[in-house]
Amino acid sequence: MRYDIAIVGGGPAGLSAAYSASKQGAKVALFEKDPSFGHNIRTSGVSWIKEMKKYEVSNEYYNPIRNFEFISPNNDIAIDGKEDTACVLDVRKTYQLLASKAAATGADLYVKSQVTDISRDPISKVSTLKITTTSGRESVESLLVIDASGFGCFAARKLGYVTEWRRYGAGAEYECYCDKVDKSTLTLMVGSKYSEAGYAWVFPLSENRVRIGVGIGKPNSQVDPIKKLNGLLSAKVTPLDRLGKIQPLEFHFGLIPNQGLRTKSTYDGMILVGDTVGQANPLVLEGIRYAIEFGRLAGKVGVDSLSYNSSLESLKQYEMANKKTLEKKINSALKVQARWLGLSDSEWDKEIEIIKGLTIDEFLDFIKSDFTTSKMLKVALNHPKLLAKQLFNLVLKK
């Protein structure tokens, strides 16, 4: 089989790239190793309504969030919003929507199709993918490969372009039935009681359904997030004690890179997108909005590059946009995260008081890692607390 563009991985990045590229007339194939899109959920599904609307993901695919709660070992703060801003996605349903969009534009989508090998001929500029499918083994040629294989970075690692992630978050989560759910409030829990190097969460999906999870930074802590999560549920720690009966219905587990953007996102004949290249917000470890945005950009730039054999030079626009849009935000967020990972429980009690002093708009900019210089300076000037100034000076420091 021969395609213009071959995409490895059927998450939001790969599906968005397939949609964008095929919409422009390219012959596109996407290979997903799981039996269906969204089959194995590896994300808690938090995102932002503004971005979801921009990418035609309507409100039937998510639960809107207006209010936010932070809980530390000896403190509990609430930040009430004026309107719905965040959301918790129905992940499986959203991935199926993105797959349908890609299929409607003409992309060929292959499920339970595992890419097992990849090579590139430097003379013909053609890449060859070896794939195990339900029909047997296949060989696919393409001018451009888009590696959207996620945390494992299969295609890029196979060609020797990247190495495994050294710093990452490991998250374990139950999707549960609960008697009592405040479906408009997203809750984050911090401190060693909840996670030795990370946080725990309660993310509502509906009036009786929530995701309860624990994320732990590696290699900062060797604690198993599954054991930690089971311990929290067994002890029914606050705020789990407010939920009434908790009955797990699904279990999810995932890994997300947590060391910033890779130094390069393009190579001759290849684009890296999504978790493959580290396009994630380190503060709350969410990246679906970036995956869709840069998946679409990868598809567009990829099609434009085909007449130049998808050379490194022809993919420059993607590389530049990736760095310009995300690099500073992610690096600033990593500085804040590094501070957070070093906090004791008593320091966490004080830290969330800083957050409590922010306006809802300031809080949303902060948690989304929208660290523009003008916004951060304004916050530092408007809030006299010394700790707040120290925090935002940290963000702005070169």
**One-letter amino acid for residue 324 of the chain:** K
Q: What is the pLDDT tens value at each position of the chain, 398 positions in all?
A: 999 999 999 999 999 999 999 999 999 999 999 999 999 999 999 999 999 999 999 999 999 999 999 999 999 999 999 999 999 999 999 999 999 999 999 999 999 999 999 999 999 999 999 999 999 999 999 999 999 999 999 999 999 999 999 999 999 999 999 999 999 999 999 999 999 999 999 999 999 999 999 999 999 999 999 999 999 999 999 999 999 999 999 999 999 999 999 999 999 999 999 999 999 988 887 899 999 999 999 999 999 999 999 999 999 999 999 999 999 889 888 888 888 888 899 999 988 887 887 888 888 888 888 776 676 667 666 766 545 555 655 555 54
Strand partners, 28: 5
pLDDT of residue 202: 98
- In this predicted structure, what is the pLDDT of residue 386? 47
Query: Can you tell me the distance from the alpha carbon of 223 to that of 236, in angstroms, rounded to the nearest whole number?
Result: 19
Supply 249's token pair. 């219905």
Closest CA to 266 of 301, 330, 308, 316: 316
Q: How far is CA 164 from the centre of its chain?
A: 17
The domains of the chain, with CATH numbers, are: 2-39+91-163+262-327 (3.50.50.60), 46-90+167-257 (3.30.9.10), 331-396 (no CATH)
Residue 391: what pLDDT? 60
| Rounded Cα gap, residues 218 and 198, in angstroms | 9
State the DSSP string of 286-346: B-HHHHHHHHHHHHHHHHHHGGGTT-TGGGHHHHHHHIIIIIHHHHHHHHHHHHHHT--HH
Report the C-alpha gap between 106 and 171 in whole angstroms: 35
Instruction: Judge whether 195 and 275 are in contact, CB under 8 Å.
Output: no
Residue with tokens 């957070």: 340
Radius of gyration for the alpha carbons in the chain, expressed in angstroms and rounded:
21
Residue 384 confidence (pLDDT)? 60
- Cβ atoms of 213 and 233 within 8 Å: the answer is no
pTM of the full structure: 0.94
